[in-house]
Amino acid sequence: KKYTLGMIGLGTMGRNLLLNMADHGFDVTGYDKDPKMLAKLEEDGKEKNLKGHASLEEFVQSLELPRRIVLLVPAGPIVDSVIAELQPLLEAGDMIIDSGNSHFTDTSRRAEDLSKTNIHFFGMGISGGEEGARFGPSMMPGGDKEAYSAMKEILEAVSAKVNGEPCVTYIGPGAAGHFVKMVHNGIEYAMMQLLAEGYDIMKNSLGYNNEQIEETFKSWNAGRMKSFLMEVTADVFKFKDEKTGKLLIDLIKDEAKSKGTGKWTSQVSMDLYLPIPTINEAVSTRDLSKLKKLRVALAKAFEKPEAKIENPEQFIVDLENAMYFAMIVSYAQGLHLLTQASESYKYELKLDEIAKIWRGGCIIRAELLQDIYAAYQAKPELEHLFEDKNIQQKIAGTLSGIRNVCSTAINHGIGIPAFASALTYFDSLRTANLPSNLTQAQRDFFGAHTFERTDEEGIFHANWNAEN
């Protein structure tokens, strides 16, 4: 008897996904260089009689044709070395599905290289962390569509479900799957930064304690902002440290790390000339947080403005509106980038399908995605989420809130890079006449870069130094 699918890399994600597949009745097996990982798979999968292989050759030989091999190894050069080891053991038609957070350009290159050998290469983003992998992630596979049909049944079975519908769909050709997962993470960065700023404002402007902060996030999660990130954020504020009995949040250093997917999203957005300022701010603020020594020194050099909130009851309502507004903006920027990438890279993305599979299983799953899904379903060619009437209505109701929150935080000297950028992004986008005419005039003044006119077609240059 041969196995339906094999997993290479039996760390937490790989092992959990394999256990999930076994739960759904698939005959699966795994391979890992580390005997401890093999032992762990067999221990956790005892009930299902899950077996792993210590030899790559035996592992490959144990799989039915065409082979389905999923990689869940750290992104980067390890993926290349695993492929190089596998390649001589494979046959035409076999499939390699890289499910780590690989950079999409690596995925394009690998797909291109392997297509010459008739091996199908898929880049698949998986979101949902350990729990997701074990009980239902959101999955974003991209690559050869025909080969995808050989994976479809398994992926649909193990994915998260929303209203009975699987949170997986064929994303598009080439590296489309990894691209979409990368942008998912960019949105994740923005949402996390917004939640952090909300915490800062509650703590330092409203003077809330951790219990009040937990209650607030919890109440938001009971409303229109119901989402995975809101839920876990609320839970953070009640978690006690085992050693000291104190709330753990107060013992964690205020220096945020990252593994790169957020940065990649910002980098690509610049390459495509497509603005996603709130995501950019989220990336930069993690970097800024690491400048601890400098921050401590500057905190001594400059005093924080003294300020008081006159009407705390109203302010917390405003903060809810501000958060909702900025969450919409975060999704809107990410989706806008996907629209542009789809055109530039010929990914043939279907934004309604993407919003649909993000509704469950993934880190950015949220009630709001139902409205976003509806917007793109009603008009798949929507250029920007802000054009949707329902979204416009939602935004309109939040504007006085976000304006008050931003101005208050600024007056209190609290850094709000994500909130402020979300608002100014919105204000710039809903401005028919920007001051960019001045930018063009300056460019032409000192560099003869030319400009276009509002009253005449053509390219112009003025003799700016002439007296007139």
Q: How far is CA 144 from CA 105, 173, 362, in A?
A: 16, 6, 23
Residues 156-215 that bind ligand 6PG (CB under 6 A): 185, 188
Tell the smallest beta-carbon distance from residue 290 to ligand 6PG (Å).
13
Give residue 42's Cα distance to chain centre: 32
Is 43 among the catalytic positions? no
Least separation in angstroms between residue 259's CB and ligand 6PG is 4
Cα–Cα distance between 151 and 169 in angstroms, integer?
11
| Per-residue binding letters, 351-380, with ligand 6PG (x by CB under 6 A) | -----------xx-----------------
Of 261 and 321, CB closest to ligand 6PG:
261
**Judged by CB under 6 A, which stretch of 122-130, 165-173, 206-214, 227-235 contacts ligand 6PG?**
122-130
* Whole-number Å distance between alpha carbons of 75 and 71: 10
Site for ligand 6PG in 73-102 (CB under 6 A): 101
Q: Is 181 a catalytic residue?
A: yes
Total of residues contacting ligand 6PG (CB under 6 A): 12
Omega prior to 66 cis, within 30 of 0 = yes
Catalytic site residue from 33, 64, 152, 181:
181
Structure token pair of residue 188: 């994740």
206 DSSP β-pair partners:
none
Q: Find residue 166's DSSP bridge partners.
A: 161
Residue number of the CB closest to ligand 6PG reads 127
Q: Candidates 253-261, 318-326, 333-341, 417-425: pick the segment binding ligand 6PG (CB under 6 A).
A: 253-261
18 to each of 48, 52, 91, how far by Cα in Å? 11, 11, 23
**Which residues are documented as binding site?**
101, 127-129, 184-185, 189, 259, 286, 443, 449
Q: What's the min distance (Å) between Cβ of 415 and ligand 6PG?
A: 19
Q: Which residues are annotated as a binding site for substrate?
A: 101, 127-129, 184-185, 189, 259, 286, 443, 449
Catalytic one of 2, 43, 188, 300: 188
Q: What is the dihedral of CA 448, 452, 454, 456, to 10 degrees?
A: 100
What is the enclosing helix (H) or strand (E) of 92? none
Which of 76, 129, 173, 415: binder of ligand 6PG (CB under 6 A)? Answer: 129
Tokens, residue 40:
């762990």
Count the Cβ atoms, other than its own, within 10 Å of residue 221.
Answer: 21
- Separation between Cα atoms, residue 457 and residue 441, nearest integer Å: 16
Structure tokens at 111: 């797909």
Q: Stretches 20-28, 36-44, 125-133, 312-320: which one binds ligand 6PG (CB under 6 A)?
A: 125-133
Q: What is the helix (H) or strand (E) element at residue 166, kind and residue range?
A: strand 165-166
Using the rule CB under 6 A, give the single segment among 51-59, 87-95, 158-166, 255-263 that binds ligand 6PG.
255-263
Contact 386, 400 (CB under 8 A): no
Q: Is 285 in the site for ligand 6PG (CB under 6 A)?
A: no
Q: Which is nearer to ligand 6PG, 256 or 272 (CB)?
A: 256
CA–CA separation, 351 and 409 (whole Å): 34
Counting contacts by CB under 6 A, is residue 258 touching ligand 6PG?
A: yes
Which residues are marked as active site?
Answer: 181, 188
Interacting residue ranges for ligand 6PG, rule: CB under 6 A: 101, 127-129, 185, 188, 258-259, 261-262, 362-363
